[in-house]
Amino acid sequence: MSIRHHHPADDAGFDALVQVVPVLVDLVPAGDAFDFPARTLLHAGPPFDAPASVPAAVLNSAAAAAVFEGWAADREDALVRLRSGDLTLAAAQDYRCAVPLASVLSPSQFVQVVHDANRPDRRAFSSLNGGNGPALRLGLPTPNVVHHLRWLNGAFANAIRPGCRRGTALIPIADFALTMGDDLHGRTAAATARLVETLSSGNAWPSMATDFLDASPSFFLNLWMAATKCILSGAEGMQDCSLVSALGANGHQVGIQLAGRPGHWVRSPSSPPRGRLEAGITPQERLPAIGDSALIEASGLGAMGFEHSPPQRESFADFMSHPPAELARALLMAPHPAFARSKARFGLAARQAVASGHDLIVALGIIDIEGRRGRIGGGLWSSTPELFQRALEGLHPTPVHP
């Protein structure tokens, strides 16, 4: 099968995907945004197959969120409740949420609500980016993580909430940012600056909010994860469609869902990203890949879009299997018509991934496997076509007529 001729179901899925118009419309507690399961914390990637599979970093984040919610008195109490089953863990993407790295989402945390302007009942959610301080995504065991959660979901969220409710179209920001050297995953500085300019227009933000955002060039990342989840869901439910609609890792396994089988995870063991580690860190200290931000590569950006970002392309050149533009042509279906300036390609189809023989490349932060030091580097995780082949085996073979 030529990778230049797509299956009719994948063509139909791509046509549906590019009709999605993601718009930021609200900032509300997660428990008010959707039917949040009781005494549950939502994590990145597929569900854990056993309690012993949960990495230390995720346990640390879950404990901090439990204290933040008032479900536990302190970290030790929270860990006891998690181990006993009094508190449970579930996959965020199964609730149309996306969380970064070792983070978890709890019902009192604010989520950015993104809906499809063409079909407002299609929605996706993400927590606020925690910036460069003791952010929940780092999986740290210290009490200041809880303090930061309270500030982020209190004073800060209240300051930016009016701007979030104005209705901000996100593809124009993303398209502009790609022309400015962002890849919309590891590098989002131009997108963050444009977003802050849009949200703050006409609002007198307190200096603490402005100072935090000035020091947080990755703030757009979580929002774009929700936008990406919203976009990819456009093809969900289309029979035999092999477009990837979910992709993430939990530090133990990586999981994928295809649009033709929504809700069905296909998993494989997660390996650590390859990349540059901080001084004194050994390769054995890397946690296997973790985070829902892999969704961005599943759409076609991030490492798959390094051709738009010379700084990222140069930084990761030693770890790339093929030139970024070659990977994008081999793995992604076509340019997204709404990305008129950047002409970014979108649409990762499992059929095309298998036919191409190329690995999917995902840029990820590297987390300390012991859950003590947080982020210890940055690198690339790659998936062989075998994962896509196994996902394809579950699709219905019935032909689809557009």
199 and 61 share one domain: yes
Q: Kindly list the averaged pLDDT for each block of 10 residues, start to end, along the chain of length 402.
A: 69 97 98 98 96 96 98 97 96 98 98 98 98 96 97 97 97 98 98 97 90 97 98 96 98 97 96 95 97 97 96 93 91 97 97 93 96 96 91 69 36
Ramachandran region of residue 263, left (φ > 0), alpha (ψ -120 to 50) or beta? Answer: left
Do 252 and 109 belong together in one domain? no
Does residue 257 sit in the same domain as residue 138?
Answer: no
What CATH number corresponds to the domain at position 309? 3.90.1700.10
Last-in-domain residue among 229, 262, 296: 229
Rounded to a whole number of angstroms, the CA Rg of the chain reads 20
Residues 242 and 145 grouped into a single domain: no
Instruction: Verify that 160 and 221 share a domain, yes or no.
Output: yes
Final residue before a domain boundary, out of 229, 249, 282: 229
Identify the CATH number of the domain in which residue 46 sits: 3.90.1710.10
- Other Cβ atoms within 10 Å of 355 Cβ, number: 19
Among residues 165, 168, 91, 100, the alpha carbon closest in space to that of 129 is found at 100
pLDDT at 397: 53
Are 84 and 180 members of one domain?
yes
Burial label, 362 (beta-carbon count in 10 A; 0-12, 13-18, 19+): buried
Same domain, 190 and 212: yes
pLDDT of amino acid 195: 98
Which of 213, 229, 245 marks a domain boundary? 229
Number of domain units in the chain = 2
Q: What is the pLDDT of residue 6?
A: 86
Separation between Cα atoms, residue 205 and residue 72, nearest integer Å: 33
Would residue 177 be called left, alpha or beta, if left means φ above 0 and alpha means ψ between -120 and 50 degrees? Answer: alpha
What is the span of the domain harbouring residue 324?
A: 8-17+236-392
**Does one domain contain both 217 and 292?**
no
